[in-house]
Structure 1
């Protein structure tokens, strides 16, 4: 009796179905093994300390004696104590100098450089990007010398007959925070400009030519061609500068140490001061967790806004 021929077509279909159910290449479990070392380092040096900080924020602890339970008292103090709210208000002011002004200046310079040919562009970029290469401690020491009562800025004002404008820029509670902000603007503008110039190079030149044929001026060309083409770079620049403004510590520590009084105290510096100088570890931890949440929320909002407009 002759045996029935195997159903080769059905076998092929079954094998193809099994293949489609599995991802090509190695099994997914093997892929997780590849990223396991990075996840372990991330968890050990970031997630674990963050969890410890969150736990300490629920305690009253001076760093030495036995801790007592505080619950949400430390977070409640952030909302009710003016001395704890002030650093966040100062950080909001620094957002203008660290994020808004550098991004605006970078966009304006990019618009001008894309419309007009400038000789020595490489040198120009290098000089503007130089503050990003310098350590912030070096920047702080240099600008503290410039803004000192006998510093270069006051000497320049006196040389042109503006002695009435000279002052202790970092020692006056009205001008100390804007002075720190101006330093931040100087540091971040070069970063924004380099990002925007790199993004402008991938905008097709035909778009500029078409806009000019249609009679578009410099302003209309900027809003219809340059700015839409730089949405991704604007998102990156805003994210980096917002984070730099909110986590600002070393510049404040070097230039003013939070003074005069608490006129330039920012959250990151206040966390350091409370944790290591006044022995309020619980309060410092609560402020650190709140600062982390604020940074995450603002960066998420910036990303969503830019992505929403680009769709």
Structure 2
């Protein structure tokens, strides 16, 4: 009588402990250069410190000020407004462009995609300097408006309390749209052609085909695009620093710029650290929420 051999219950491949050893160097670097500085920032956020003299305990004062001080609340409100320009508009425009390009044969498509993706290659400092020149009172945009007889619309876009934040937001839309479009085009190529053919046999038009086939097939890419654009919008610093410096007044101040302003210009290191910690928590909460919503729908 042969003795039965029970298959091993261990998963094939190396033991899990060996897998941890593989990722240990990356975890060490992550902990040293990200987690440790973040822990230091959390500690500083509970202090009153000007960066030079002895620090004193602040308790929760720096965090309560985020809710009670209008000059600290405003940057977070501005950041949420910029999410419309950095995330909602680029994702919407990118979806429309991807759906159009995947359905219609366009001559020079490669060149068109390259031009739209070009802002992702440029340094944000270069983008800020170029757009600051375009939006200046004597810049290209106002020259075009005056040239077509719309003199009343010309204004100092970056120096106007009402229009400065939307003007910066438009630059963010221009930068992020190409990234979203490329992600969606790559995802659309994975959608089986049979689904489109079946939709057309059922009499679906372009709009119905988009909502029934294209949009569900791009859920993963939409999640990635929203995550990247939300992070870019909330940690926006260099564009604000180059174009407006948070002005006029504090009309375009955002949390990342406010961290720099308070730490290096006002010498309020504890307050700056509290803003940075709050911004990190906000980014984490929004990105996790977006990921959970998309994964929940896919499930």
TM-score, L = length of structure 2? 0.97
1:104-183 equivalence runs, <5 A: 104-183=92-171
CA RMSD of aligned residues (A): 1.3
Partner of 2:230: 242
Name the CA shift for 1:154/1:220 in 2 (closer, same or farther; >3 Å).
same
Name the CA shift for 1:127/1:67 in 2 (closer, same or farther; >3 Å).
same
Name the CA shift for 1:219/1:45 in 2 (closer, same or farther; >3 Å).
same
Partner of 1:61: 49
How far the C-alpha of 1:8 sits from its partner, in A, is 7.6
Separation in structure 2 between the aligned mates of residue 124 and residue 154 of structure 1, nearest angstrom = 26
1:188 aligns with 2:176: yes
Mean CA deviation greater in 102-111 or 79-88: 102-111
List per-residue Cα deviations over 1:241-296 (Å, max 9, x = no partner). 00000000000000000000000000000001101110000000001000000000
List per-residue Cα deviations over 1:48-80 (Å, max 9, x = no partner). 000000000001101000000111110000010
Partner of 1:35: 23
- How many residues end up aligned between the 2 structures? 299
Separation in structure 2 between the aligned mates of residue 259 and residue 75 of structure 1, nearest angstrom = 24
1:204 aligns with 2:226: no
How far the C-alpha of 1:115 sits from its partner, in A, is 2.1
Residue 67 of structure 2 aligns to a residue whose secondary structure is helix
Name the CA shift for 1:161/1:299 in 2 (closer, same or farther; >3 Å).
same
Separation in structure 2 between the aligned mates of residue 28 and residue 162 of structure 1, nearest angstrom = 68
Partner of 2:286: 298
Partner of 1:220: 208
Partner of 1:4: none
TM-score, L = length of structure 1? 0.93
206, 229, 251: which one aligns with 2:217: 229
How far the C-alpha of 1:23 sits from its partner, in A, is 4.2
Separation in structure 1 between the aligned mates of residue 11 and residue 93 of structure 2, nearest angstrom = 48
Residue 291 of structure 1 aligns to a residue whose secondary structure is helix
How far the C-alpha of 1:117 sits from its partner, in A, is 1.3
Name the CA shift for 1:204/1:28 in 2 (closer, same or farther; >3 Å).
closer
Residue 196 of structure 2 aligns to a residue whose secondary structure is helix
Separation in structure 2 between the aligned mates of residue 256 and residue 308 of structure 1, nearest angstrom = 40
How far the C-alpha of 1:28 sits from its partner, in A, is 3.3
Larger Rg: 1
List per-residue Cα deviations over 1:144-174 (Å, max 9, x = no partner). 0000011000111111111111110000111
Gaps of 5+ in 1: 1-6
List per-residue Cα deviations over 1:169-224 (Å, max 9, x = no partner). 00011100000000000000000111111111111111111111211111111100
Separation in structure 2 between the aligned mates of residue 119 and residue 38 of structure 1, nearest angstrom = 45
Partner of 1:270: 258
